[in-house]
Amino acid sequence: MRQGARHQASSRALWRACWLLLACLFAAPLAWAGEIPTFDQVKADYRPSDVALLDRHGEVIHRLRVDLHVRRLEWVALADISPALIAATIQAEDRHFYQHGGVDWPALAKVAVESLFGDKQRGASTLTMQLAAMLDPALKPKRYQRSYAQKWSQINAASELEQHWSKAQIIEAYFNLAFFRGELHGVGAAAAGLFKKRPDGLDEAESFLLASLLRGPNAAVAQVASRACRLAADMASGTACPEIRARAETTLDKIFIEPDVALGAQVARRLLRGDRPVISTLDAATQRMAGEVLFAQLRQLDGRQVQEGAVLVADNRTGEVLAYVSGGPDSPAYYVDGVEAQRQAGSTLKPFLYGLALEHRLLTAASLIEDAPANLSTPNGLYVPQNYDHDFKGMVSVRTALGGSLNVPAVKTLMLVGAEAFVERLRDLGFAGLTEDGEFYGYSLALGSAEVSLWQLVNAYRTLANGGRYSELALLPGSAAGKRGGSRQVADAAAAFVVSDILADRGARAVTFGLENPLATRYWSAVKTGTSKDMRDNWCIGYSARYTVGVWVGNYNGEPMHDVSGITGATPVWLQVMNHLNAAEAGLRRPPPSGVVARDVSFEPAYEPPRHEWFLAGTETALVSAVPAGGGFPRISYPGDGEIIALDPDIPDDNQRVFFEMSPHDATMRWNLDGETVEGGWLPVAGSHLLVLLDGEARELDRVRFVVRGRKTAAP
């Protein structure tokens, strides 16, 4: 049996030798399997496994891997490949590369003879022959070796390549198409994945290792190192074998390509769909700056349970997004998109509520609203809004209420406007996630209980900046405002102007934030902060004449932050980004549109100092009085006649006290409930009640009947 096997092996070797000798003696050109590709075609068809996201100027700002089978980087020019690697590869693979015309016939004849006598030498494939096999799948070996027909075709394909390509083109293509180790395809990926270098920076030891990998990309580390040591000896190199072995042990099994640029992971995943680079609207400098500022602020908040944040910058006129940043320096959730995540809006929706009230002529910027404790009955019990600073300011104007982000006046404004009308306005502004009716959201909608995204908020504020005219944001050039979907007027331009003027008024926000705070800029800007329940989300959104900037900080997992407010969390980021954008061209506010008039206004009593105020035409006044003109009297505004107040058995009694309200407020009036005088908060008792409003002389001015439902009943 053994003798028969040896006879068969000798026969195969003889036939192989005959074939190879015939190839040497009678070589004639055969046609390429199809038209021979040009060097330029091969280079043009080359696709990196990573697709580049480009900024508006063509600068690469992110790379996203789209081919999961191999890892290729950009095509590397021959001039950018280390001479040491070129020399080592030619020595290892094709010593007569520059002398032959595609086939090394003497080497091929030698292999044929050695094969005849059973010497298992490696085939004499030249670099050109290897390249031909890379270019034509039909020339790839089946199982472990090529058939004789494939070998013959490979020989002729190499000869044809040499007739049409230069030596420089052949070796350049070879280095870009060769497999080196694992999934590393091409010299660019090999240099980066194994040595964290560019190909032009490879030293001798690294070059010997890469050249040795070409014979067996996945050979054992020790085997590759031995090949590299022999290669170094053949080339009389000064690099010692111990150094080569040490380098092999520390690099060959640790394949990792460090991204050279990673500025827009979320945008890359949104835009990159094919295998071609995509030009975005982003500006690399703005993107880089916004990311650095955000991450620096998150590090400043270390210890306050804040891990992530997001920044979005848009051009007011075009709607093009200039910066889109999401993440955190220590965030484990790399793939979460904080710009598109739905979060509670906090106070950021208040400008749109007041704008709607102004537009419907229900209020003016000078109208007075009482900021006082209020217990509002809802189907789920009492709703008791509180202010940011847990203090109440008494009678305040709409300007002060919005500028200072007071909660009770906002809730009262929602009661005037109607929750359903407010929901419809928010939908018109792009808040598509508000799918329920106004009754579902209730009073808390005024304080931002609805979930919105930073993307939606920035565009809604941009709509205010554009005088109430809405258009979509864009991440691709040519798809911005007016070009995709057009634009439409969704809010009154005059009302938008007045709201913007309030948001830009540092005096209006002083009641809550003081005159000197991070919201103040040296140029015209309008800005609003917001913090959701339990400090889970922190926002700062605002705009200058040209840009709208939105910032969110918090935690992707919804964990509450520790002692972080709109001023200490998101606002410092907003201010730095806005200052950077407006450093060169800080514009002034737009002139008032038609339908806006200015008047000097004073207040009686003097709840606020006289001032110059903006009004929608037809609503202007010189005097705002808390006492109705013509000798009218206050009326009961809460509770309403026939209203039902529901007690919650899970809430302590003291937290369910009811505070009666009159409009306008008059401190000389008195409350009488069921025949008894009531002062301050009343602890509600189940049953039917009669509430009477009396003047200073005990004359009845108004009365209502209401019902309290719950566990607590009147004493017998």
Whether the pLDDT of residue 107 is over 80: the answer is no
Tokens 């996201």 locate to 53
Higher-scoring residue by pLDDT: 705, 377: 705
Asked if the peptide bond before residue 217 counts as cis, ω within 30 degrees of 0, the response is no
Let me know whether 585 and 644 are in one domain: no
pLDDT of residue 383: 55
Q: Which residues constitute the domain of residue 702?
A: 635-709
pLDDT score of 423: 92
Domain match, 640 and 510 both? no
- Of 337 and 698, the structure prediction assigns the larger pLDDT to 337
Compute the average pLDDT of residues 115-122.
Answer: 52
The answer to whether residue 267 is domain-embedded is: no
Name the more confident of 384 and 576. Answer: 576
pLDDT reported for residue 692:
92
Looking at residue 34, its pLDDT comes to 55
pLDDT band of residue 594 (cuts 50, 70, 90) is very high
Rounded to whole angstroms, how far apart are CA atoms 118 and 114? 6
Mean pLDDT confidence for 620-632: 70
Least reliable range by pLDDT among 116-120, 128-132, 696-700: 116-120
Predicted local distance difference test score (pLDDT) of residue 711 = 59
Residues 666 and 543 in one domain: no
pLDDT at 28 over 50: no
Query: What is the predicted pLDDT for the residue at 505?
Result: 94
Residue 484 lies in a domain: yes
pLDDT band for 309, please (50, 70, 90 cuts): very high
Cα–Cα distances in Å, from 149 out to 14, 152, 581?
A: 16, 5, 67
pLDDT of residue 443: 80
Range 28-40 average pLDDT: 66
**Cβ pair 574, 540 in contact under 8 A:** yes
Cα 181 to Cα 193: distance, rounded to the nearest angstrom:
9
Query: Would residue 653 count as lying in a domain?
Result: yes
Determine contact, residues 53/61, Cβ cutoff 8 Å. yes
The lowest-confidence range among 110-119, 337-346, 501-510, 538-547 is: 110-119
* 142 within a domain of the structure (yes/no): yes
CB atoms within 10 A of CB 80: 16
Secondary structure percentages of the chain, helix, strand, coil, to 5: 35, 20, 45
Mean pLDDT of 41-46: 94
As a whole number, mean pLDDT of residues 201-220 equals: 94
pLDDT (mean) for 265-287: 93
Helices (H) and strands (E) in the chain, counts: 22, 28
| End-of-domain residue from the set 251, 285, 301 | 251
Letter string b/e over residues 114-147, b meaning 16 or more CB atoms within 10 A of that residue's CB: ebbeeeeeeebbbbbbbbbbbbbeebeeeeeebe
How many domains does the structure of the chain reveal?
3
* Domain shared by 552 and 670, yes or no: no
Q: Are 305 and 555 in contact (CB under 8 A)?
A: yes
For residue 702, give the CATH number of its domain: 2.60.40.10
495 and 375, same structural domain? yes
400-409 pLDDT, tens digit per residue, is 999 999 988 9
Q: Kindly state whether residue 274 falls inside one of the protein's structural domains.
A: no
Residue 391 has pLDDT above 90, yes or no: no
Indicate whether 188 and 247 sit together in one domain: yes
Q: Give the containing element (helix H, strand E) for 663.
A: strand 661-663
CA distances (Å), 300 to each of 263, 303, 605, in order? 21, 9, 46
**pLDDT tens per residue across span 319-365:** 999 999 999 998 888 789 999 999 999 999 999 999 999 999 999 99
The per-residue pLDDT of the chain, averaged, comes to: 85
pLDDT-above-90 percentage for the chain: 57
Whether residue 676 is predicted with pLDDT greater than 90 in this model: the reply is: yes
Is it the case that residue 531 has pLDDT exceeding 80? yes
Q: Does the pLDDT value for residue 611 go beyond 70?
A: yes
How many C-beta atoms lie closer than 10 Å to residue 313's C-beta? 26
242 sits in which H/E element:
helix 241-251
Longest Cα separation, the chain: 132
Q: Does 398 share its domain with 348?
A: yes
Residue 227 inside a domain? The answer is yes
Q: How far is CA 103 from CA 25, 95, 119, 130, in A?
A: 13, 12, 21, 11
pLDDT at 716: 40
Clarify whether residues 577 and 678 are in a common domain. Answer: no
Q: Which residues contact 173 (CB under 8 A, 6 or more apart)?
A: 39, 42, 43, 131, 134, 135, 165
- Shared-domain flag, residues 607 and 691: no
pLDDT given at position 82:
96
- Residue 429 and residue 324 share a domain: yes
Q: What is the mean pLDDT of residues 124-145?
A: 79
Residue 48 lies in a domain: yes
Q: What is the CATH number of the domain that holds 91?
A: 1.10.3810.10
Residue 14: its pLDDT value, please?
Answer: 45
Poorest-pLDDT segment among 206-215, 350-359, 370-379: 370-379
Q: Which of 286, 284, 277 is nearest to 261 (CA)?
A: 284
**What is the pLDDT averaged over residues 530-550?**
93
Q: Across residues 116-136, what is the average pLDDT? A: 73
pLDDT at 5 exceeding the cut of 80: no
Q: Is the pLDDT of residue 633 over 80?
A: no
Distance CA 211, CA 202 (A): 12
- For 135-155, write each residue's pLDDT tens digit: 887 777 666 565 556 677 778
Q: Is the pLDDT of residue 654 over 80?
A: no
Has this prediction a pTM greater than 0.95? no
Residues 530 and 678 placed together within one structural domain of the fold: no
Q: In the predicted model, is pLDDT for residue 497 greater than 80?
A: yes
Confidence band (pLDDT; 50, 70, 90) for 289? very high
Final residue of a domain: which of 219, 235, 251?
251
| Residue 523 within a domain | yes
pLDDT higher than 60, residue 30: no
pLDDT tens digits, 153-205: 778 788 889 999 999 999 999 999 999 999 999 999 999 999 999 999 999 99
For residues 534 and 658, membership in a common domain is answered with: no
